[in-house]
């Protein structure tokens, strides 16, 4: 796989899969209702920074743009993209196990998806439909999700500490700092 | 040519559909159709951008972007009937960004700060009106945009700026953590005050 998918330790994955005829509305409805069912299923994949599903029903053609011939998709396509930590293989292993219930409802509605919609068969399917990234920009591509969350928590602690430690004498300040931040990394 | 969006969610105060949101994070997804010469030009541009990342340095100035990508789609993989097997007539550029703030402000910033970069990346797309004036460009993006059907952020409460500052704060806090125990209280107090001055913009 080309390194164009990688910036720092972050990986940009994209799979584009054709949606079965007559399944588009049901798939859209399922995806729209994921929010109503609680946390996103993508939260189960702890290495995922950002992810999205979208259905592209067709291309739009505009005659004023002087495009010689119109182009239409043969069927709607589902696009799944994820910005995640580390390597693709282990990420897809996790996805294909932990998202198995949702995968059946999502890629199970796509042409060519294996009947089980999980495990090694789903992984093969997603890799076959992967499209490599041309340019991948990551503002903090060296930081994992876990690191980002830890550092955000630490920043909150620091803001709180700066506020509450005002007016402390040198000894008390040092003691309070060590209690709050000492021995952590 | 653009992509027909599936029926969108309600437009929010940030200027984009509700399904493009997760907390502070906003998704933008844009397809555009590439002219014949873009088939050659864009892969070269992508290669140069990866090797000589001047453009991404400018992108870094847009501190509200978390992750963004450009991808050329020419030939979706064949999965069996009833899918049609074959290349698309035109290559298409897929662009996505994960950012925070407002949709309009995002496009404005892109247009004003990345004017030449935008022209390089979208100049080979049919219908691209140039980044400035922004009204035409916004209309172009709107007609080419597809709303997400589901969007997820691992830290929806955080802006990109917050994250970058939190990481910078950590880099500056680490030496003080290491030294604090060994320092005399007076020396620590001085070091702490200097540290606070240094990281004010991170808090």
Kindly tell me if the per-residue pLDDT of A60 is higher than 80: no
Determine the topology of domain B18-144 in CATH.
Alpha-Beta Plaits (3.30.70)
Q: Where are the domains of chain A?
A: 3-128, 145-181
Kindly tell me if the per-residue pLDDT of A135 is higher than 60: yes
What confidence tier does B13 reach under pLDDT thresholds 50, 70, 90?
low
pLDDT at A1: 44
pLDDT at A66: 84
* pTM given for the model: 0.92
Which chain A residues are closer than 8 Å to B96 by Cβ?
A: 52, 81
Token duo for residue A83: 């910005």
Kindly tell me if the per-residue pLDDT of A86 is higher than 50: yes
User: Strand A135-138 and strand B65-73: pairing?
Assistant: antiparallel
In this predicted model, what pLDDT tens digit does every residue of B88-121 receive, in sequence order?
999 999 999 999 988 888 888 888 888 888 899 9
* Mutate which: B20, B35, B118, B149, vs A, most A CBs within 10 A: B149
A3-128 classified as CATH 3.30.70: yes
Share of residues in chain B with pLDDT > 90 (%)? 68
User: Which A positions 72-91 lie with beta carbon below 8 A of chain B?
Assistant: 74-75, 77, 79, 81, 83
Question: Which residue in the block uniquely carries the two structure tokens 């060590």?
Answer: A178
Q: Where are the domains of chain B?
A: 18-144, 160-202
CA distance A126 to A1: 14
CA distance B78 to B85: 6
The 8-class DSSP code of residue B83 comes to: S
CA distance A88 to A95: 10
CA distance A54 to B6: 9
CA distance B94 to B35: 14
* ipTM summary value: 0.94
CB neighbour list of residue A142: distance below 8 Å, 6 or more residues apart = A8, A9
The candidate with the shortest Cα–Cα distance to A82, out of A117, A41, A32, is A41
């Amino acid at each position: 796989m080309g390194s164009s998918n990688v910036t720092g330790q972050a990986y940009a994955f994209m799979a584009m899969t054709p949606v079965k005829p007559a399944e588009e509305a049901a798939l859209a409805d399922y995806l729209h209702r994921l929010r109503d069912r609680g946390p996103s299923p993508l939260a189960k994949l702890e290495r995922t920074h950002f992810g999205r599903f979208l259905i592209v029903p067709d291309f739009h053609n505009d005659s004023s743009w002087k495009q010689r011939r119109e182009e239409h998709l043969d069927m709607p396509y589902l696009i799944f993209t994820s910005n995640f930590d580390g390597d693709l293989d282990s990420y897809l292993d996790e996805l294909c196990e932990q998202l198995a219930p949702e995968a059946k409802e999502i890629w199970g509605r796509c042409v060519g998806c294996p009947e089980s919609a999980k495990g090694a068969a789903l992984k093969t399917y997603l890799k076959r439909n992967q499209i490599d990234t041309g340019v991948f920009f990551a503002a903090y591509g060296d930081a994992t999700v876990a690191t980002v969350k830890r550092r955000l928590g630490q920043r909150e602690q620091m803001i709180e500490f700066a506020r509450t430690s005002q007016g402390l004498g040198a000894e008390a300040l040092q003691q309070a700092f060590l209690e709050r931040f000492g021995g952590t990394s | 040519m653009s992509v027909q969006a599936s029926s969108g969610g309600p437009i929010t105060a940030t200027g984009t559909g509700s399904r493009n949101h997760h907390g502070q994070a906003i998704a933008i997804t844009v397809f555009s159709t590439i002219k014949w010469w873009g088939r050659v030009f864009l892969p070269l541009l992508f290669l140069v951008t990866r090797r000589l990342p001047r453009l991404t340095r400018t992108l870094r100035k847009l501190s509200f972007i978390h992750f963004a990508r450009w991808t050329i789609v020419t030939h979706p993989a064949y999965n069996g009937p009833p899918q049609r097997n074959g290349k698309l007539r035109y290559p298409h550029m897929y662009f996505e960004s994960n950012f925070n703030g407002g949709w309009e402000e995002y496009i404005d910033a892109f247009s004003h700060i990345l004017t030449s970069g935008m022209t390089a990346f979208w100049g080979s797309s049919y219908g691209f009106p140039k980044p400035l004036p922004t009204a035409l460009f916004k209309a172009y993006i709107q007609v080419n945009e597809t709303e997400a059907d589901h969007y997820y952020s691992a830290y929806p409460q955080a802006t990109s700026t917050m994250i970058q500052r939190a990481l910078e704060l950590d880099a500056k806090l680490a030496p003080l953590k290491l030294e604090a125990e060994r320092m005399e209280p007076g020396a620590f107090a001085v070091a702490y005050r200097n540290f606070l001055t240094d990281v004010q913009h991170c808090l």
